[in-house]
Structure 1
Amino acid sequence: MSWTLFVDESGQDQRHSPYEVLAGVAIEDKKVWPLICQISDAQKQFFGMRLFEAYGAEAKATKLLKKKVYQHAAQMEPFNNEDRRRLTKEILENGEDVSRERLTALAQAKLAYCEFVLDLARRHGAKVFATMVPQDSPRPPNGEDMRKDYVFFLERYYHFLNQMPNDPAGFLVFDELDKTACHVLLGQISRYFQKTQNGRTRSRLIVPEPFFVHSDLTSLVQLADLVAYIISWGVRMSRMPATTRPELDPLAALVKRMRYHHTTEGGHAVWGIKEIRDLR
């Protein structure tokens, strides 16, 4: 048995998002392909086509869940499934032929799809891991060492694997955005697993060389993108002052239901989503 952690980020531009989020969705090996197939089926069910066919690129969470989508979805009563799919397919096939009905149906389809896919992942036993870094957090100069948020992120993933029976292997799949940045991250991860004591211990279960994929071709990295966005804008733990977008509360609740949780022998609760206020 093995698990794969599909990883993406949100708020890395340090401009609009309240938190910089590194998020991963872990899926057991035997459930990866069934989940991918059901996500594909869900896109046809809600949109009448695959989203890549509609946009020619990844359907980012910023497109699916931006505030305007909620405004458009609320401007008319909810459509039934058949009418919503028909109107959505019409506007996706011909974006110049816009009507109030079609725009509303598309927005309603986006929100229904996101909720369905998150619950689908939950029913497949997905586990969520994430770090949240406030945008004004002190940061170290760029260097050879892996950032503190990545260290905590991999630590939680390792503890999850270590608590599973039969010592399953853990794979890492990252979104490839820039080849140079991928090489930098690859070197940092390699040095962490080979040069540090904690890294060498955790390499017993986590395969130290990650895979880099194009997110527009990889459904489960798109799922990680969705989770990262919802965490940045909708999930807060105690003593986290940044406000949320209340309309995201139902989706945030689904994400929180999937987060890794463990209670130590001493009664201490360890959660898969952690705020890190200082990256130095």
Structure 2
Amino acid sequence: MSWLFFIDESGHDHKNTPLEVRGGIALHTGKLWSFVQGWQRLEEDAFGTRLAVYQKEAKGAKLLSGDRFNWAAQGEPLIGQERRKLARAFLDKGVRRQPPTRPEFTAYGQACLEMARGAFELMISHEARLFACAIPRGTKQPNGFKHVDYLRKDHVFLFERVYYFLEAQHEHGLIVMDESEKTLDKKFVSRMESYFTRTATGRNRSYWIVPAPLFVSSEMTVAVQAADICLYCINWGFRPVAWGKELTSRSEIAREFGPKLARLQWEGDGYRDQQVFKTRGIVLVLDPYGDASK
């Protein structure tokens, strides 16, 4: 059997997020169908319908925006059936381009938060593992950088941690990536291939990681949507003490979802220079263009 590593990214539009994050969740193939079914039930329970009916998907920036929190707080928590009825009315009015009522805004905001909460519980119950690398927003490649054809340091660290996990499991991992801009996808795949075929460390890690990613549409792949929610929460609300206090955060996300991220992230043993050390699946890299061995 094997694991599927669903990868997405957050903050790469360089707009208003404090970080640029790439990574996602690893799910065992034996649990994937159960996860998909659970996700479908979760959407029905939160919104009273499947989001795909309305050409929508459960992305972190949509479920957990400031507006959604504000809408949810407009009224008392709604009982499930009432929330679903009003949330579905909100979606129907969006299709008809009609303004929703205040109760419908409230219900939809609460449904979005319930969806995000349920997504984390679903990932935890299916023993998903979270891996991600983050760099400060707007980090630029230095002039004269010579290794443009290879993975950046943060990406090396990401796959390093996935490798440690898979090696401990004695199972292979397939990479499943969200389609984005095709030119950028090709560049990333090319850098992956260079790392996994032209470096000794990469060749060693290709024993467990299959460095030939599969590309899917996030709209059709709920595990990529789950990864997106995790990365959005990392961007705004995952702040370990070691990361310092300088990064902007959103307290509502840090307070509720920070502990869930900590529970999901992989923890295990790594090794370098014949030294074994404890490591975790989420890493902040301040200088992604430095020496990847440090």
- Per the shorter chain, which TM-score range? over 0.9
Distance 2:81 2:225 in 1: 26
Q: Given that residues 164 and 270 in structure 2 are in contact (C-alpha distance below 8 angstroms), is that contact kept between their aligned partners in structure 1? A: no
For residue 73 of structure 1, what is the aligned residue in structure 2?
72
On the 8 A contact 1:88/1:109 being kept in 2, the answer is yes
Whether the 8 Å contact between 1:60 and 1:225 is mirrored in structure 2 is: yes
Cα shift at 1:91: 1.1
Give the alignment of 1:164-243 within 5 angstroms.
Answer: 164=169, 167-237=170-240, 238-240=242-244, 241-243=246-248
Q: Per the alignment, in what secondary structure is the counterpart of residue 163 of structure 1?
A: helix
Give the Cα separation in 2 of the matches to 1:264 and 1:89: 47
- Hey, what does 1:91 align to over in structure 2? 90
Q: 1:149 corresponds to which letter in structure 2?
A: D
SS in 1 for 2:230: helix
Query: Is residue 161–residue 270 contact of structure 2 (8 Å, CA) maintained in 1?
Result: no
**Displacement of 1:93 after TM fit?**
1.3
Residue 57 of structure 1, CA deviation: 3.9
Counterparts of 2:206 and 2:270, CA distance in 1: 22
Specify the alignment match of 2:282 in structure 1: 273
One-letter amino acid matched to 2:133: T
Give the letter for the 2:279 counterpart.
Answer: V
Asked if 1 retains the 8 angstrom alpha-carbon contact of 2:20 and 2:137, the reply is yes
Structure 1: give runs of 5+ residues left out of the alignment: none
Contact 2:237/2:249 (8 A) holds in 1? yes
Q: Structure 2 stretches of 5 or more lacking a match?
A: 290-294
Residues 134 and 277 in structure 1, CA contact (< 8 A), matched pair in contact too: yes
Aligned position for 1:112: 114
SS in 2 for 1:77: coil
State the aligned residue count.
277
Q: Give the partner amino acid of 1:113.
A: M
RMSD, aligned CA: 1.6
Per-residue Cα deviation, 1:87-144 (whole angstroms, up to 9, x for no partner):
1011111221411101000000100110011111111000000111012545355821
CA–CA distance in 2 between the matches of 1:260 and 1:239?
Answer: 18
1:180 and 1:19 mapped to 2: Cα distance? 22
Give the whole-Å Cα distance in 1 for the aligned partners of 2:156 and 2:115.
Answer: 33
Distance 2:221 2:155 in 1: 22
Q: Residue type of the partner of 2:88?
A: K
Cα-to-partner distance string for 1:130-160 (whole Å, 9 max, x where unaligned): 1110125453558211121111100000000
Shift of 1:77: 0.5
State TM-score, norm by structure 2.
0.90
Which residue pairs with 1:129 in the alignment? 131
Q: Is the 8 A contact 1:138 1:278 kept in 2?
A: no
Post-superposition CA distance 1:194-236 (Å, at most 9, x none): 1001110001001110111111111000111111100000001
The superposition leaves residues 64-95 of structure 1 with CA deviations (integer Å, 9 ceiling, x where unpaired) of 11111111111101101110011101111122
Match of 1:254 among 245, 249, 260: 260
Q: Which stretch shows the higher mean deviation, 237-246 or 211-220? A: 237-246
Distance in 1 separating the partners of 2:280 and 2:141:
23
Deviates more, 1:225-234 or 1:268-277: 268-277
Note closer, same or farther for the CA distance 1:182–1:103 as it changes in structure 2 (3 Å cut): same
Deviations 1:13-51 (A, max 9, x none): 122100101121000110011101110111111111111
Deviations 1:170-208 (A, max 9, x none): 000111111111111111111111100111000100111
State the TM-score, normalizing by the size of structure 1.
0.94
Please give the secondary structure, in 2, of the residue aligned with 1:78: coil
Task: Specify the alignment match of 1:47 in structure 2.
Answer: 47
Match of 1:155 in 2: 160
Q: Secondary structure at the match of 1:94?
A: helix
What CA distance in whole angstroms lies between the structure 2 residues aligned with 1:65 and 1:17?
Answer: 13
8 Å contact kept, 1:48–1:86: yes
Q: Which consecutive aligned stretches of 4+ in structure 1 deviate over 3 angstroms post-superposition?
A: 263-268
Distance in 2 separating the partners of 1:277 and 1:136: 11
Q: Which residue pairs with 2:25 in the alignment? A: 25
